[in-house]
Chain A
Amino acid sequence: MSASRVMAKSRLKRPTIGDWVIVVIMILLIAICLLPVMTVVATSFSSAHYLIRREITFWPRGFHIAAYQDVIGDSRFMWSLAWTGILTGIVIVANLIMTILCAYPLTYDSLKGRKILTVLIIFTMYFNAGLVPTFMLFRRLGLLNNPMVLIIPGMISVFNMIIMRNFFFGIPDSLKESAEIDGAGPLTCLVKIYLPLSTPVLATIGLFVAVGRWNGFMDALFFLPGNARFHPIQLLLYNILNNITAVDVQDPGAAQAPGWGETVQAAAIVIAMVPILCVYPWVQKYFVQGATLGAVKG
């Protein structure tokens, strides 16, 4: 062991040509990750004049913030941002509660019916009824064009449930057993022992759910087409980018100018992108945890 450490150290000290080749590849990778984002940021800050003249690459030309003023001035866009934020909050809470309620009982070996329930639940991960049968059900349940459709049908993700269950499995049984001797029931064990020890997995799943909700638009496209007030930001952005709807511009004269629409679209993309880009570097640790926890066999 110590010999290998010495060897590793000596290798660390003198990087070889191979090491530098890899570094160059990684720098290329970083550039490839960032360039598409830079190009849209550049467009959003550029004047339409340069867009038409094909002079925008990865840096703003003719810097201005008028496109952002238009997007921020569009009350529909700002409401959609706020609504998506509220919605994300609700969905996090609802999902965590339901996932805990599902995962925790399934960790009891002594629970009768546990096996069959687990199989029935995991089966739904591999086979679902499909879009049309689901649509028919939602119609019957009154969920069509009802904002609840963005919350209720997604309340448990089987994948997240398995992650949580596996995490609970990792908590030593002895803790629970000693509490049971003191007369604690399952609920007390959950609240007093399991949940306090589970903050990492709760954070992980909460964040998975949050990102999924913030980035989701298809459920709204399928099931909420007639209720534009509750469209999440990504669906509004989808409609803007596909010219189904447009951002209200403050200066109709400028809006006529060729290229202006594209500049405003770019600004809308950036504004929808910023919240998640600000959050993800700080919480990525939890995502990495989740991705590896989920790898454990279901």
Chain B
Amino acid sequence: MVKTKDRPRTRISNWKSYWIRHWALYAMLILPIAFFFIFSYMPMVNILIAFKRNNIIAPIMEVPWVGLDNFRWAFENVQFFQAVRNTLMFSALDLIVGFPAPIILALLLNEVKFKKFKKVTQTISYMPFFLSWVIVGGLSIRLLGPSGSVNNILMNWFGLEAPFPFITSGYHWVGTNVLFAVWRGLGWNTIIYLAAITGVNTELYEAADMDGATRLRKMWHVTLPGIRPVIVILFILTIGQIMGADMARYLAMENLLVRDFSLVLPIFVFRWGIQGMQYHRAAAVGLMASIINLAFLFGANMLARKLGGRGLF
């Protein structure tokens, strides 16, 4: 910029100097652009298989169209409805149980007065997040399975006759699954809220103290409103996942006895598509789920903006 000032400003020299200063940046971007083109945008062409015959050998453009047949197939499939029901059920439970849990824990952690103790508690509460779903699945069997520790205690000490079916009967497994999901994410998800809480204006607390507010009242009237924007953003992101649950969680925690309940939409796509080789039909189901997710994401975002929040975008 400094050098060009005393030169005659022609279009060409501007363009040249721009290029001299920026070519290296474009060179750096070649690989990332290629990456996103190949792995994010190229597969989007293959979405067309959802409207075509089942053929992944021939180039996608040459495969004959079948209109909406694959979607029609889904709506005539009992398992599809099972999958939709399960997905919505887990999403609702996660929203009711899993979403508020870290907010509550963050509020409580914020009130811990002993610094060292708080730090140790936090470190331990992050631990489950670092365990893979496969390991969490293994833990759930050892803890709550028919020969697990909890059943041993219930049977030996409390005289239960048969093991309680925490993981072996459908609805109980659903509960176990949701609780383990909370267990795994609880501590970790407090981080973002705790960071937001440190940003709340301390004068508000002082003013509340002057008014003689109790601790609970301060949580409710100062802290919670202070972190509302963060809650809203995370809520939008959660809603945007309503149809696309974290598949590892269900794959790793399921067992043969609860297959009817662990069948969420992504697993449906995996079982019928990759394992069952019904690529066209599975792709149709996957596409529907993606579109519904996107619709909910935008819907929740619009709602948040309408209610006076900042929204996500």
Given A33-B125, A132-B283, A186-B25, decide whether A218 and B113 contact each other with a Cβ distance below 8 A: no
Would you call B127 an interface residue if the criterion is a C-beta within 8 Å of the partner chain's C-beta atoms?
yes
Given A132-B283, A291-B192, decide whether A276 and B141 contact each other with a Cβ distance below 8 A: no
Whether B140 and A36, one on each chain, are in contact in the complex, defined by CB atoms closer than 8 angstroms, is: yes
Q: Which of B142-172 contact A (CB under 8 A)?
A: 142-143, 147-149, 151-153, 155-156
- Beta-carbon contact of B56 and A139 below 8 Å: yes
Q: Give Cα distance in the complex from A51 to B142, angstroms.
A: 10
**Interface range on chain A (Cβ under 8 Å from partner):** 35 or more
A205 to chain B minimum Cβ distance, whole angstroms, is 14
Docked CA distance A237–B252 (Å): 10
In the assembled complex, the Cα of A39 lies from the Cα of B145 at a distance in Å of 11
A contact face: mostly helix, strand, loop, or mixed: helix
| B248/A217 in contact, CB under 8 A | yes
Contact A234–B132 (Cβ < 8 Å) = yes
Interface residue B126 (Cβ < 8 Å from any Cβ of A): yes
Check A23 against B195 for contact (C-beta < 8 Å). no
Q: Which residue of A lies closest to B148 (CB)?
A: A39
Q: How many residues of B contact A (CB 8 A)?
A: 99
B248 touches A131 (CB 8 A): no
B43 touches A110 (CB 8 A): no
A262 to B192, CA, bound (A): 38
A269 touches B28 (CB 8 A): no
Determine whether the beta carbon of A215 is less than 8 Å from that of B132.
Answer: yes
Q: Which B residues lie within 8 Å of A117 (CB)?
A: 29, 33
Given A139-B56, A217-B248, A284-B123, A102 contacting B32 (CB threshold 8 A): yes
Contact, CB under 8 Å: B28 / A104: yes
Chain A residues within an 8 Å CB radius of B56: 135-136, 139
Shortest CB–CB separation between residue A247 and chain B, in angstroms? 13
**What is the bound-complex CA distance between A104 and B22, given in angstroms?**
12
Interface centre among A19, A26, A42, A269 (most CB of B within 10 A): A26
A67–chain B nearest beta-carbon distance, Å: 13
**A33 with B187: CB separation less than 8 A:** yes
Asked if B74 lies at the interface with its beta carbon under 8 angstroms from chain A, I say: no
What chain A residues lie within 8 Å of B39 (beta carbons)?
134, 137, 152-153
Q: Per a CB cutoff under 8 Å, which of A15, A34, A54, A155 touches B35?
A: A155
Let me know if A128 is at the binding interface, CB within 8 A: yes
**Whole-angstrom distance between the Cβ of A37 and the nearest chain B Cβ:** 7
Bitwise, B282-307 to A at CB < 8 A (1) or not (0) is 11001101100010010000000000
Question: Which has the most chain B C-beta neighbours within 10 Å: A131, A137, A153, A216?
Answer: A131
Stretch of B5-13, B77-85, B91-99, B267-275 that contacts chain A: B267-275
Q: Which listed residue, B33, B188, B192, B215, touches A295 by the CB 8 Å rule? A: B192
Interface presence of B61 (CB below 8 A) = no
The interface residues of chain B lying within 8 Å CB-to-CB of A47 are: none
Bound form: Cα–Cα A221–B267 in Å:
12
Selected contact of B134 from candidates A33, A111, A241, CB within 8 Å = A241
5 A-B pairs within 8 Å (CB atoms) are namely: A54-B155, A108-B25, A112-B22, A130-B287, A141-B38
Listed in ascending order, the chain A residues whose CB lies under 8 Å from chain B are 4, 7, 11-12, 15, 18-19, 22-23, 25-26, 29-30, 32-37, 39-40, 42-43, 51-52, 54-58, 98, 101-102, 104-105, 108, 110-112, 117, 120-121, 124, 126-137, 139, 141, 152-153, 155-156, 181, 185-187, 211, 214-218, 221-222, 234-235, 237-238, 241, 259, 262, 265-266, 269, 272-273, 276-277, 280-281, 284, 287-288, 291-292, 295, 297-298
**Chain B interface residues toward A at CB < 8 A:** 2, 18, 21-22, 24-26, 28-29, 31-33, 35-36, 38-47, 49, 56, 60, 105, 108-109, 111-114, 117-118, 120-121, 123-128, 130-135, 137-143, 147-149, 151-153, 155-156, 183, 187-188, 191-192, 195-196, 202, 206, 209, 215, 230, 233, 240, 247-248, 251-252, 266, 269-270, 273-274, 279, 282-283, 286-287, 289-290, 294, 297, 312-313
